[in-house]
Each structure stands twice: as C-alpha cells, then as structure tokens.
Amino acid sequence: MPTSENEKQAPLLWDYVPVAEYKPPAPPVAQSVRERLTFFRRLIGGGEKEQEPPLEGTENIQALPDWQLDCIAPDLEWHEPAEALDIELKDWLAQEKPVSPVVVMVGPPHNGHVETLTAWAQRQPWPVVSPPTATQILAGDDTWLSKQITEATPWVFPRLERAYLRHPNGLTLVRRFLAKAYAGDLGRGIIGCDSWAWALLRHVWRGRVPVTVTLQAFDETRLARHFRQLADASGDRPLRFIQSDNGRDVLPPPDAEETAGETSNFLQLLAAHSRGICGIAHAIWRANLQSEPDEKPAEKGDDVACRIANQTVWVTPWREIAHPCLPSGAGRDEAFVLHALLLHNGLAIELMERLLPLSSGQIMGTLIHLEESGLAALDETVWKVTPQGYPAVRHFLQAGDYLIDHF
C-alpha cells in the first residue's frame, strides 16, 4: 500500500531522542494569558470562570464504567515502545565493542521506563538485574551486583532509582556501580532511571556521561494518534470523541471524508499540562470520558462489549476538570515528603521515616492529606505521586526552589 504524504511527514509515535532534545509541549498562548488572569482574579477574590452555554442533549451524560474504559482507553502496554527502542539501539547492538558499554534510558514519572526495558529485555532475551535492598544500599554491599552480572553476559537494570537512598550512607553503592558500568567492567548493559533520580545522580556522580536517551514528548498530534489507535482497537465501528460543552471534535473524526468543523484545543492543553508524559496524559484522558445513557445499556460480557450510545464519547471540557492541587497551607512537610517520593520514584513509609527529618506521625499525617487531595497514593507497599497530581506537585517543588528533573 503506498504511503500518503501525511503519513510520511507524521512523527514516529514512540520516538527515542537524546535527553537534550526532549521538548515538552507548549500551552496555547491564549491559555497562558487566561491562566495568569484567572490567578489574578482569584488573588483579589473576584471574577468567575467564563462559561459557554451547555450543548443541547448532554444533560444526562455520565461517566463510563471501568470495563468500558478498558475497551476504549485501556491501560498502557509497553511493547511498542520496546520495539521502538530496539530500532534506536540497532547500531549500538551491532557494534562488537561499542565506544559506550552502557546506554541509559531516562524517563519522567509514569512514562513506563521500567515496563519498557523489562519488555525489551524479554525480546532479546537479556537478564534483568534486580535492585539491592535498602539494607545493602546503606551498608554499601555490592554482592547484589556480583551475583547478577558477569562481564560475559549483557544485562538490563531498569531501576537505577532503586540503587540509592538520599542518605549520608545511601550513595556509595550507586557510585561504585556507575563507575564499574561506565568503565566497561560489567560488559554491555542498559540502565533505566527515573528523571528525578537522574537529576540528583548527575550532581553526585562526576564521571563520564554515557549515551542517554528518552522518549520524545507526546504533543497533541501524538496524543491524537495514540488515543485513536486505542479506541479503534475496541471494535468494528469507530467512535467519535466530542467535547461536551461545544460539540467540537477532540480527536480527528474517524471518517476522513467527514468535515469536523472547528476542533477543540483539549489535546493541546492536555499535552502541555502533562508535559508530554504519555502516562499522565492517558490517566487524565481516561478519567474524563463520558457517554449518554443507552436504551439498551451494554453490560460486561456482551458480544458488543464496547458499545457506546450513538458511537459518541463525550469529553469533559478542560476548564471543568478538577485537577488535584496542593492543600491550603502546604509547606515544608508536604515538600519534604513529595520530593522524597519523586527522587526515589516511590517509597515505603518505613524508608521515609529513615530518610526524612520528620516524625512518623508527621509523615503519616502528611501522606493522608496528600492522598485526600489526589496527589499521592499507596501502590501496594510504596507511596507514589499520582499521575493526575504530578503536574501540581512538580510546580509546587519548582516554586520552592527544590531540585527538579529536566522534563
């Protein structure tokens, strides 16, 4: 099948680039001005949001049940990014003795660097290195490494952020590991690292910088293609995604011959708000999809499980989304806890008690308030900053002059 000009010019959906070439999407100029005006109005205690009249017939739209969302906006799979990484590393893999024995893949929170590298390692197959325990980190015990890596066998270590702790005794082990890896003493390997941990480690590690890549940010074009691919995989009849306050298309219409008229800027705002981080954009997208009640509602297990009334999915207008924000009066305790969670890509409360200058009660109380605000959540035994809460948390820490990532 011949390739159209649009397809030739379209950027790769999953595209790996050097870290220095990462470009977070910019918000619309009008939106930036509006946000500043809104902030000023709130500061002086006046002014209401401008409201558009509601679109006729959308009074009864309702949130989609999780099982229908799993059809049209399923949880992210990371096999395609793993395939794209395979293409990016093709030349490096072909070299018998590469100039750089290790490649580092850096990714911001909720962008799947661990899942992608794990999927990539299974494709090769290369063994996946497990991180050391907290006890081994604090003791500087590198037997965890010698038991898993030999120079003769290539390896993948997806969780460099799990090899250190921000503690006086918590950096020795990761320094030894990086020194050996960059010197070639561990053979060929790929390291994955969260962007916040990488920002800190670049300060404490003064050695040679390895080849470092990251997924390019998802702008509105990539988000549109990604969401459309997920939705089109749900059934034979394509869905249309319409903004519920004005009837504008949020995604390009599934039928290329249809004229969409004026389109919504929802995806441009979503791309900028999420800083191009696919996992964060996906979580916000999924939480704001709705439909009209159907005369014969689909039920889980139906033959047409993803049936949506009138094949239309309604999208909440951007200005109506209740984004998580910092609690009133948030200060030092919240900053300490949130910064620790991001620097380590999540922490168990037992470790927070060892790393933070706060009492157990202060930490637990702060976590509860952050959870109630939608900013943090317990993932099994580890507390993490939520996808929807991440933009507000990053802005809060940046405003407080804390060390932040470069994404």
User: Which run of H or of E encompasses 105?
Assistant: strand 102-107
What are the structural domains, with CATH classification, of the chain?
56-72+218-321 (no CATH), 101-209 (3.40.50), 332-399 (1.10.10.10)
pLDDT value, residue 146: 86
Contact by Cβ (8 Å): 404, 394? yes
Q: Residue 228: helix, strand or coil by DSSP?
A: helix
Contacts of 384 (CB under 8 A, 6+ apart): 109, 341, 345, 346, 376, 377
Across the beta sheet with 312-315, the strand order is 62-63, 289-291, 312-315, 240-243
User: Which run of H or of E encompasses 229?
Assistant: helix 220-232
pLDDT value, residue 297: 53
The span from the CA of 79 to the CA of 304, in Å, is: 26
Across the beta sheet with 211-215, the strand order is 16-18, 211-215, 102-107, 189-194, 155-157
pLDDT value, residue 298: 58
pLDDT value, residue 41: 47
The span from the CA of 59 to the CA of 349, in Å, is: 44
pLDDT value, residue 188: 94
Report helix angle 266-273 to 278-287, nearest 10: 130
Number of H-type helices and E-type strands within the chain: 17, 11
**Tokens 């009640």 sit on residue:** 293
pLDDT value, residue 2: 37
Rounded to two decimals, the pTM is 0.88
Q: Which structure tokens are listed for 148?
A: 């898993």
Task: For residue 279, give the amino acid letter.
Answer: G
pLDDT value, residue 159: 97
Q: Which structure tokens are listed for 47?
A: 């002014």
pLDDT value, residue 50: 45
Local confidence pLDDT in tens for the 407 residues of the chain: 333 444 445 568 999 999 999 999 998 875 554 555 544 444 444 444 444 555 555 567 888 889 889 989 999 989 999 999 999 999 999 998 888 999 999 999 999 999 999 999 999 999 999 999 999 999 999 899 888 887 778 999 999 999 999 999 999 999 999 999 999 999 999 999 999 999 999 988 877 778 899 999 999 999 999 999 999 876 667 889 999 988 899 998 876 555 556 789 999 999 999 999 999 999 999 999 998 876 455 555 554 556 776 788 999 999 999 999 998 888 999 999 999 999 999 999 999 999 999 999 999 999 999 999 999 999 989 999 999 999 999 999 999 999 999 99
Pairing of strands 189-194, 102-107: parallel
The span from the CA of 27 to the CA of 253, in Å, is: 23
Q: How far is CA 194 from the centre of its chain?
A: 10
Q: Among positive and negative, which fits the CA dihedral 353, 176, 202, 199?
A: negative
pLDDT value, residue 399: 95
Q: How far is CA 245 from the centre of its chain?
A: 28
Which has the closest alpha carbon to 343: 227, 170, 225, 183? 170
